[in-house]
Structure formats: C-alpha cells, structure tokens
Amino acid sequence: MKVSCENLYHPLKIGNLQLSGNLFLAPVAGYSDCAFRYVCIEGGANFTYTEMVSSEALVRSSVKTASLLTRAENEKQYAVQIFGGNPKIMAQAAELVLQKAHPELIDINAGCPVPKIIKSGAGSALTKDYEKLYLVTKAVVEAVKGEIPVTVKIRSGWDSSNLTWKEAAEAVVSAGASAITLHPRTRAQGYEGKADWSLLAKLTDFIDRRIPVFASGDIFSPEAAKNVIEQTNVDGVMFARGAMGNPFIFAETSHYLQTGEIITETPQTRIRAGMKELQILVGEKGELPACREMRKRFCAYSKGLEGSSQLRTRIVTANTIRDFEDLFAPYIQD
Ligand SMILES: Cc1cc2nc3c(=O)[nH]c(=O)nc-3n(C[C@H](O)[C@H](O)[C@H](O)COP(=O)(O)O)c2cc1C
C-alpha cells in the first residue's frame, strides 16, 4: 500500500549551509569514520557527522585524533563533532578543526553518557549543566567567526527526575547555535528503553522555528523516519544504529518519503558496500587493524543472510581481506 508523505523529505538550511535533504548519518563512535561515511553517502545520506573527537586531544595534537577528521573522498559536505567541558579548550579545538579539516559544520556533543567523558564535564554532563553548555557553545561559535555553523546534540536530561532539555535548548539558542539535535533518552538510560519522541514534539514547539531541530533515537526504518517527522515536526532525522549494516537506509527512506513505496536493497549489494568500506579502512589503518574493526560491522551486514549465525562465527576471526572475500563469495556471486 502506498502512503502519502508529501514534503517530509526536503532541502534544508543550517545557518549559512545549504543541504540537499534532511536525512543524516549520526555521529557514532567506532563507526562513523571516513570509510563508513563513504558508503553512507553512496547509500543516499544527505549529510554525515564524524564520531565525537576529543577537544583536549586535538589541542595536544594527538595524531590518532587528527585522523578522525579525515574527509571521505565522496564527502562534499560533512560535520565534525567535538566534545569537551572547557570552553577555552573547545574554542581552540574548533579553530584547529577549521584549519585542518575545513568541515562545513562543527557539532558539539552534549549527550555522551560514558562515565569517563562525563567526569570531565563533557557529553551529557553539559545537558545537565546548561550554564556551562551556554559558555561552551558561545566559545565555539565565537571561535569559528561565522565561517561555518555550530550545532549541538543533547539528551533529554540526566535521569527521569532531571529532564533539562528545555533549559539546555534555550542555552544553545541564546549562545548562537544554528541547529539542535535531541536524542530523547536520559544519560541514565544510556541506549536502553525507548526514545521518548513526545519530547521531540515539545522541543519543536519550544524552539518555535528559531533554529532547525533534528531527531535521533530509534529511527530504524523509513517508516520510523516518517512517523517521527509527522509526530514531532522535526526538520531532519539522524540514523545511527539503523545505518549499521545498511547504509542504503538513506535512499530507502528518501524514496519512501517521496513516493510512499518501500524499496529494500539486496543483501548482495549490502555486502558489496561492506567490502568497499573494508577496502577504504585498509587504506586508512592497514589490513589487520581494519579487518579487526570490520568484524563487528560485517556482523551487522550479514544480518538476514542465509546461515548468518554460522557466518558470524567466521567473521569474528577474519584477519585479511581474502578471509572476508572467501566467506562472502557464495553471497555476492553474480
Ligand atoms: C556505539 C555508539 C556510539 C555513539 N557515539 C556517539 C558519538 O560519538 N556522538 C554522539 O553525539 N552520539 C553518539 N551515539 C549516539 C547516536 O548518535 C544516537 O543518538 C543514538 O544511538 C540514538 O540513535 P539510534 O537509536 O538511531 O541508534 C553513539 C551511539 C552508539 C550506539
């Protein structure tokens, strides 16, 4: 059955940045490197975010951290996400990112729930401490001097009795951010339970079109993207876990939002995308580290393949490109 989803897929402006559509790859640590972002762009993503990059490490000029900034070959527009709890260091890091990587946007992480990150006053500690969030955002906005937009990704709050998304959103707007993303789970929830989309609807009401609002959380299918846009009035959506193993979810979603028709990429095409991702990662890291990194990603790519549980036991011991080619050969023959 076809459903009408008129105007849910549309171009978008974030500050002075024009984007062709409103379907984004979320920042995801351990996934959103230039190899995965490459295949997501091939798969129809309109905009892509790096994983969170430490402002402290950038300022200390860590080589490993700088490699997180690498732009994918096909990436005409991308965002670098930075994290930190010190406004001065965040400003310095933003300047460095601008000089070294020239991204089209810098995003500030105010959502990470990992204890080590929170202890330094970064990540979701900033959604709670919204006065500091204001200072951090303002410092980064001033550091980029209007060259590119600065945006912020928040959570709904610290825990169910401390929901501070509204105060955090007001801090972000008054500090001069050009857009806000809400992942409507609390820090205490981590990635468990359900994302509370009703908070996204409340946020769009509260923001009242002052800046664009984006949704992240439990958007695992084209239908979910349609539902969250319709139910909450957000301007765009981010796919995180929904893109793992299926970088074509973006094209599938834009097609659905424009036509109401569900299309699904074949497992063969998905595996080929995984092999392309592996090839790029080998160029970045060398064969063994890339193959080790790709094990978890190929487990996602292999979902739905015949005999996938046996396949997974082989995936988790693969060490070379040849190992992966051999184990996927029966699935990708023409
Ligand atoms: C493994 C993992 C790593 C993540 N890393 C980041 C990150 O670096 N920066 C960030 O803002 N969010 C990060 N997130 C949160 C996602 O961007 C997203 O908000 C969250 O997973 C909810 O979306 P989903 O339900 O579509 O996965 C991460 C999530 C996961 C599962």
Tens of pLDDT, residue by residue over 25-84, are 999 999 999 999 999 999 999 999 999 999 999 999 887 888 899 999 999 999 999 999
Q: What number of other Cβ atoms are within 10 A of residue 98's Cβ? A: 17
pLDDT digits (tens, 9 = 90+) for 54-63: 999 999 988 7
Q: Domain range for residue 319? A: 267-332
User: Ligand 1: which residue has its CA nearest to atom 20?
Assistant: 217
What local confidence, expressed as pLDDT, does residue 6 receive? 58
User: What is the pairing mode between strands 17-19 and 12-14?
Assistant: antiparallel
- Residue 1 binned pLDDT confidence (cut-offs 50, 70, 90): very low
Overall average pLDDT of the 99-110 stretch: 98
Shared-domain flag, residues 118 and 143: yes
CATH assignment of the domain containing 39: 3.20.20.70
Ligand 1 pocket residue status of 51, Cβ below 6 Å? yes
Is the Cβ atom of 212 under 6 angstroms away from ligand 1? no
| From 5, 34, 40, 112, the catalytic residue | 112
Q: Is 299 one of the annotated active-site residues of the chain?
A: no
Locate 141 and state its tokens: 């906005």
Within this chain, do residues 225 and 325 fall inside the same structural domain, yes or no? no
pLDDT at 153 over 60: yes
| Residues 174, 175, 179, 181, Cα dihedral to 10° | -90
Asked whether residue 1 is domain-assigned, the answer is no
Cβ atoms < 10 Å from Cβ of 50: 27
Alpha helices in 218-266 (DSSP H): 222-232, 249-259
Q: Residue 5: is its pLDDT beyond 60?
A: no
Is the full-model pTM beyond 0.75?
A: yes
CA 87 to chain centre: 23
Query: Do 145 and 212 share a structural domain?
Result: yes
Number of domains in the chain: 2
Last residue of a domain, one of 259, 287, 310: 259
Do 287 and 188 sit in the same domain of this protein?
Answer: no
Looking at the structure, do residues 79 and 208 belong to the same domain, yes or no?
A: yes
Tokens 């459903």 belong to residue? 3
Same domain flag for 251 and 271: no
Q: Is residue 20 part of a domain?
A: yes
The domain boundary residue, chosen from 259, 284, 309:
259
Which atom of ligand 1 is nearest to 238's Cα?
26
In a domain, 2, yes or no: no
Residue that terminates a domain, selected from 241, 259, 277: 259
In a domain, 6, yes or no: no
The predicted structure's pLDDT at residue 334 = 64
Asked whether the predicted pLDDT for residue 2 surpasses 90, the reply is no
pLDDT (tens digit per residue) in 189-220: 999 999 999 999 999 999 999 999 999 999 99
Band (20; pLDDT cuts 50, 70, 90): very high
Q: Are residues 40 and 178 in the same domain?
A: yes
The answer to whether residue 7 sits within a structural domain is no
55 in the same domain as 189: yes
45 and 149 belong to one structural domain? yes
Q: Is the pLDDT of residue 3 over 70?
A: no
- Output the CA 330–ligand 1 centroid distance in Å: 33
- CATH number, domain containing residue 308: 1.10.1200
Looking at residue 62, its pLDDT comes to: 81
Is there a single domain that holds both residue 47 and residue 168? yes
Looking at residue 66, its pLDDT comes to: 86
Residue 318: inside a domain: yes
218 and 249 inside one domain: yes
Residue 56 lies in a domain: yes
Choose one of 32, 49, 69, 191 to mutate for the ligand 1 pocket test, by most ligand atoms within 8 angstroms of C-beta: 191
158 and 16 belong to one structural domain: yes
In a domain, 183, yes or no: yes
